[in-house]
Structures are given as C-alpha cells and as structure tokens.
Chain A
Amino acid sequence: MALLSVQNLRAYYRTEVYGISRIVRAVDGVSLELQRNEIYGLAGESSCGKTTLIKVISGTIKPPLRVEEGKVHYQFGSFEIDMLHISPEDLRRNVRWKEISYIMQGSMSVLNPVRRVITTFYDIVTTHQGYTDRKAFLGQVRAHISKLGLPPDVLNLYPHQLSGGMRQRVAIALATIFQPSLIIADEPTTALDVVVQRGVLQMLKEIQAESNNTVLLVTHDLAVHANVADRVAIMYAGRIVEEAPTSLIFNAPRHPYTQHLIRSLPMIGDRSSRASLPGAPPNLANPPGGCRFHPRCPHVMDICRVEVPEMMTLPGNQRVACHLLAEGRR
C-alpha cells in the first residue's frame, strides 16, 4: 500500500475582482502514488503547478485555492487519513510534523528573526510532544542536530547570524526532528550555490536513508533530481506528463516535452548548442484544449487538439500521457 495516493486531483484558484471571475487551473487531473522509503522528484518549469500540488498534498490550502475534484489519501503506519476531509485540528495535532513535514520554498527566511534557533525548536517540540523538561529537550535537540552534522552553537544564535546554507539546514533539521513519514521539500536548494547545495542534498539523503521515510523533492533543477531522486515526475501546465525511475527518465524519455527537457541539459564534452522549444508554457487561466503541450509539440496530431491523453503505464514502471504511444508511432 502506497504512503500517499493522489487520484485525479483538480485544484483551481478562483478569484473574483470587480465582478470578473477568473479560474486558474493550476493542478488539473493529477494522479500519483508515493511509496514508502523513496525519494520522489517532481520537476517542471515555473508556474506549472508544482507548488499548488504540494499545498494540496500537505493540507495547506487557503482561498482562493480550492480543490474541485479528486482524492488525496495517506496510509501511515497505524492510521489513514483523507487529506481533503480531515479537520484542521486533527491535522494540526496528529499529522503535521509527526507524519508530514513541509520545507517550504524560500526556506532562508522561515526562521522567526527575533527568536533564537533553540526557541523555535522549543516551540515545535512542545507543540507536538507536550512539555518535556528542559534537560531532556536540550538533549533531544542536540542529538538530532549533531546527527545532521550541524554544530551545536547554532542553537543559541539568531537567524540573521547564520549563513543561507546554514539556515536551510536548520529548517530541514526543524522539519525532521520527529522523523515524519513524508518530508516535502519545495525548492530546498534553489537560492544556494552548488557547494552548499550539495551539502544540503547530502543531508536530505542521509536523513532519508536513516529513517526510511519518503521525500517529495520539488525543484525545476533536473541535475538535482538526477543526483537524488529515485523516481521523477515531469509536470507541464498543471498535469503530470511523464513519470519514471530516474535512470529511465534521463536515458529513455518518452513524452516529447520530457525529451526536449532532457536534450536541453548541458553535457560534459558536448559543445553543440541546445535547441530551445518554440513558444511558451500556456497561461493556466486559459489553457489549450486536449493535450496542453500540443501547440508546442513537434509531433502534434489532430487528436491531440481535442482529447486529453490518458496516462499509460509502460514496462519498467514508466507512465506517460501522450497520444503518440496509443497510436503506436513511438
């Protein structure tokens, strides 16, 4: 049984300004399953719905975002929850941080500027674990951060005294103190230079290897996915177009969009210039009908303009949503 199963999820932003209503179909028919003990990478360009999908999965939906359709179902060790119908209090008490931690985008500024790091730890530990005596609490936090290779001095510092990479690590340490079943990391390395990036990713990997939990890693940086993820899903304009084990997606991509994406990556020793895809991703307030990639697809057929392609499972646990496969032309 999968840890998380998302079925046919549609989540739209509905806004109404001066009587003009606007619907942004940020997530439009996404299905995916996260297994225990894996690192699942979610890739896609900016504004393709990655963060919206995560917000729904992590249960942080706020208007104008609304779930229109679909299921988000978790199966934790002892209990299961339906994320779309759980009460906020239940979610807060039993799920947040104990089962699901969310390292959000912009983690550099997730620490309260007027609180020492230890106080933020204290807030989180007392919230979820009840009051522990000071000594036990300090011991727990020190053991946790030293396991993650952080110096104990950071605890007594204020956020502005830490470097960006250190703040990011502290945010991860905060998110993993209770060894949650699922760690959602939204662009955890985007603002960091490659050296620090490597350290942070290494840390995430070690945490995952040690507690065998699931990491949902969201980034537009395919190099990060290649290094860290076990499986990768590619999102385009609110839908998942392809999902496969990492080596398969990089070596044998099937969807035309994925193929372009992979081909655009620089390779060591290859000096040829990279072709860029004509056009731009569609506006999600008014997406094209049928397959959303059809206006830019080099292999477009008549059916692509009318019908949304079904997700097809291929050998090797590869899932692709493209009419070309059904036509047998690829």
Chain B
Amino acid sequence: MRNFLLRYLIPRLGQYFMVIFLGVTLTFIIPRLSPNDPVERQINQMTMSGAHVNPEAVMHLREALTEMYGLRGSPFQQYLAYWGRLLRGDLGPSLSTFPTPVMDLIAGALPWTIGLLLTAVLISWFVGNLFGALASYYPDNPLMRLIDVASQAVRPIPYYVMALVMLILFAYIVPIFPFSGAYPVGTRVQLTPQFILTVLKHSALPALSLVVIGMGSWFIGMKSLTSNIISEDYVVYAENAGLSERKILFSYIIRNALLPQITGLALQLGLIFNGALIMEVVFGYPGMGMLTLQAVMANDYSLIMGIAIFSIIGVATSVLILDLIYPLFDPRVRHQ
C-alpha cells in the first residue's frame, strides 16, 4: 500500500495537476494573443449607439472595464490574479452578458447537458456493446443481422442530417415529441413530477438521436473485438469443458472484449462537459454546446475560458479515475 502511494498514486496525481495547470495556462494565453481587445470592443459598442460621450467619461469607463475584466497590470500579474480567482471558484464575469458571473452561466447549462448526455452515453454504451457481442456470437440470428445492417447503414450518416431527419419525422410529420427546448418556454424550473415528465418528453428525441449514433459505433467496435476473442484458446477450452453458453458469453467473451471499450467510455464521459453542439443547436437544447456557441459568437473570452477549464478538468479527471480503477477490470495491469 505504501509502495502504491509513493510509486504510483502520488506521481499520477502530480501528472493530473500538471495537465490541468498546463491546460489552464494555455486557455489564459490563447485569447490574449487575439487582436481583439474586449475593453475597446465594449466601448465601441457603447459609443456606436450614437450618443455623445465625453472623452473623460470614456477614460473612466475604460479604467472601470479593465478593472472588472481583470485586465489590469502586466500579463503575469493578470495570470497570478486569474489563478487566485480560479482557486476561489470564481471564473469572473461574462463579457457578453455582463455582469452575470461565468460560473452562473455554466451552472445553468451544465445540469441539462450532464443529464442528457450521461444518460445517452451510458445507454448507447450498454446496448451497443451487448448487441455487438451478441451479433458476433450468434452471427445467424436474424435480429442480430438486422441490427448489424442498421448500424452499418447509420454510421456513415452525418449526425446533423440524422438529427434533422429525426426531428422532422417525430416532431413534425408524426408529432410525438416537442420541437425544441428542454422544457416549454415560460415554465418555471422546479422539481415537481409534472415538470420532470415534461423534461423527459423534451429530452427523449435528442437522447434517442445520440443513442442511435453512439450505439452504432460501439456496436461495430464490440463486434470486431468479440470476433477476435471468440477464437481465443480460453474460449475454446471453456466450450470443450462444457460450460454453459451464457457463462462463456458473459464471463469469458464479453468480459475480455469489453476492456478497450471501458477506456473508450471513460474518454467519452470526460468529454460530456463540452456538451454536444450539433445536437443542442438542432434541438434547441440549452446545454454547454449552446453556451459555447454563444460565447464564441460574442467573443466572450471569460466564458470560453470557463467552459474550456471545465472540459480540461472533466477529461483529466475521468482519465485519472480510469487509470486508478482499471486494474479492477484487467488484473494484468498492476500499479507498480
């Protein structure tokens, strides 16, 4: 245990914080390399509205904005101040919807994104892998053949086409699901059963579109992984030993074929914080993807940085957790 701490866990944690440190530093530097000056842009917007502003007031405004945007002092001082605020959980005010804090904007979008994407990713992972293994183990089963053909057909379709087709089909031609949004406009967000039901109804179609696309790629990956495992000596031995089909399928084939898929799942879960831009645009879903789009469109540096930091931490954390728990799935991997 002591060895594990000293030789593995502490270096690995150091690596984790290093990744986050580098990521945050890069997100700090990159917007500052852009020729756009957010303070000047804000002043331009105000003066462009036509009103006469006296130059002294502009000076004061410039001072005030520089202060509020955290742009006072040399870049290095700004950098230190930035870290100081970040460690207190303060990502600063959003520039486009000033003075709403970036944290509040993200807090408003994140639950929607996590709720929808987590569900969709997990469902497509489970279903795709299960069917992928079954399709490889029972290649003559008509249902498995159908799923196989369907996955092959769905995979090359670009997601935005697929999503639009589903939207037109199930919200317009056959109006089963609502057109857009996460809940009807004007409803208050609250935790009543009725509200939850509306939310589920609104998210069903976006989730379905993500599951269909996601499942297809898990299915195809798992099918080829499984077809390799099926001819492994330990599977043939288990068959010769007369173990039941179910035991062989789950404990011998799927259990081994799943190992690379677990890594894939962890990476996808980390990327959830980015949201799903196309899905959110097509379905008008108020998640992190929409927020990113808004931020980019409005040159909202602090919001872009805030989202990027969440994404960096999300991916780094999920990979860290994966590394720590992977020996539970594959005993051949041991922390030295």
Are A112 and B252 within 8 A (Cβ)?
yes
* Chain A residues with CB below 8 A from B332, complex form: 113-114, 158, 160
Q: How far is the CA of A323 from the CA of B256 in the complex (A)?
A: 54
Interface size, chain B (Cβ < 8 Å) = 22
Given contacts A113-B256, A115-B251, A123-B247, contact A128 B242 (CB under 8 A): yes
Tell me, yes or no, whether B54 is within 8 Å of chain A by CB. Answer: no
Contact with A along B109-124 (1 / 0, CB 8 A): 0000000000000000
Contact with B along A99-134 (1 / 0, CB 8 A): 001101011011111111000000110011000000
* Chain B residues with CB below 8 A from A113, complex form: 234, 256, 330-332
**B residues 213-260 in Cβ contact with A at 8 Å:** 232-234, 236-244, 247, 251-252, 255-256, 259
Tell me, yes or no, whether B160 is within 8 Å of chain A by CB. Answer: no
Q: Residue on A with the closest CB to B244?
A: A127
Q: How far is the CA of A111 from the CA of B331 in the complex (A)?
A: 13
Tell me, yes or no, whether A198 is within 8 Å of chain B by CB. Answer: no
A interface, how many residues as a size bin?
A: 20 to 34
Q: How far is the CA of A113 from the CA of B330 in the complex (A)?
A: 8
Are B251 and A96 within 8 A (Cβ)?
no
* Chain B residues with CB below 8 A from A111, complex form: 234, 237
Tell me, yes or no, whether A14 is within 8 Å of chain B by CB. Answer: no
Tell me, yes or no, whether A97 is within 8 Å of chain B by CB. Answer: yes
Q: How far is the CA of A58 from the CA of B332 in the complex (A)?
A: 32
Are A124 and B243 within 8 A (Cβ)?
yes
* Chain A residues with CB below 8 A from B243, complex form: 123-124, 127
Given contacts A158-B331, A160-B331, A160-B332, contact A112 B251 (CB under 8 A): yes
Q: How far is the CA of A91 from the CA of B256 in the complex (A)?
A: 27
Tell me, yes or no, whether A93 is within 8 Å of chain B by CB. Answer: yes
Are B247 and A127 within 8 A (Cβ)?
yes
Of B329, B330, B331, which is in contact with the most chain A CB atoms at under 10 Å from its CB? B331
* Chain A residues with CB below 8 A from B244, complex form: 92, 127
* Chain A residues with CB below 8 A from B233, complex form: 104, 106-107, 109-110
Tell me, yes or no, whether A53 is within 8 Å of chain B by CB. Answer: no
Contact with B along A309-327 (1 / 0, CB 8 A): 0000000000000000000
Query: How distant is B122 from chain A, measured CB to nearest CB, in Å?
Result: 22
Contact with B along A128-160 (1 / 0, CB 8 A): 100000000000000000000000000000101
Q: Residue on B with the closest CB to A184?
A: B240
Given contacts A123-B243, A123-B247, contact A112 B238 (CB under 8 A): yes
Are B251 and A123 within 8 A (Cβ)?
yes
* Chain B residues with CB below 8 A from A24, complex form: none
Tell me, yes or no, whether A46 is within 8 Å of chain B by CB. Answer: no
Given contacts A106-B233, A115-B251, A123-B251, contact A96 B256 (CB under 8 A): no
Are A109 and B247 within 8 A (Cβ)?
no
Q: How far is the CA of A236 from the CA of B184 in the complex (A)?
A: 80
* Chain B residues with CB below 8 A from A9, complex form: none
B329 touches which of A92, A97, A107, A114 (Cβ 8 Å)? A114
Are A124 and B241 within 8 A (Cβ)?
yes
Q: How far is the CA of A115 from the CA of B232 in the complex (A)?
A: 15
Contact with B along A175-206 (1 / 0, CB 8 A): 10000000000000000000000000000000
Are B240 and A112 within 8 A (Cβ)?
no
Are A174 and B239 within 8 A (Cβ)?
no
Given contacts A109-B234, A158-B331, contact A114 B256 (CB under 8 A): yes
Are A114 and B242 within 8 A (Cβ)?
no
Q: Residue on B with the closest CB to A116?
A: B331
**A residues 237-265 in Cβ contact with B at 8 Å:** none
Are B237 and A110 within 8 A (Cβ)?
yes
Are A174 and B234 within 8 A (Cβ)?
no
Pick 7 A–B contacts, CB within 8 A, sort by A. A60-B240, A91-B242, A102-B240, A107-B233, A111-B237, A113-B234, A113-B332
Interface residues in chain B, defined as those with a beta carbon under 8 Å from any beta carbon in chain A: 232-234, 236-244, 247, 251-252, 255-256, 259, 329-332
The 9 closest A-B pairs by CB, nearest first: A96-B242, A110-B237, A109-B233, A92-B242, A158-B331, A112-B234, A102-B240, A110-B233, A106-B233
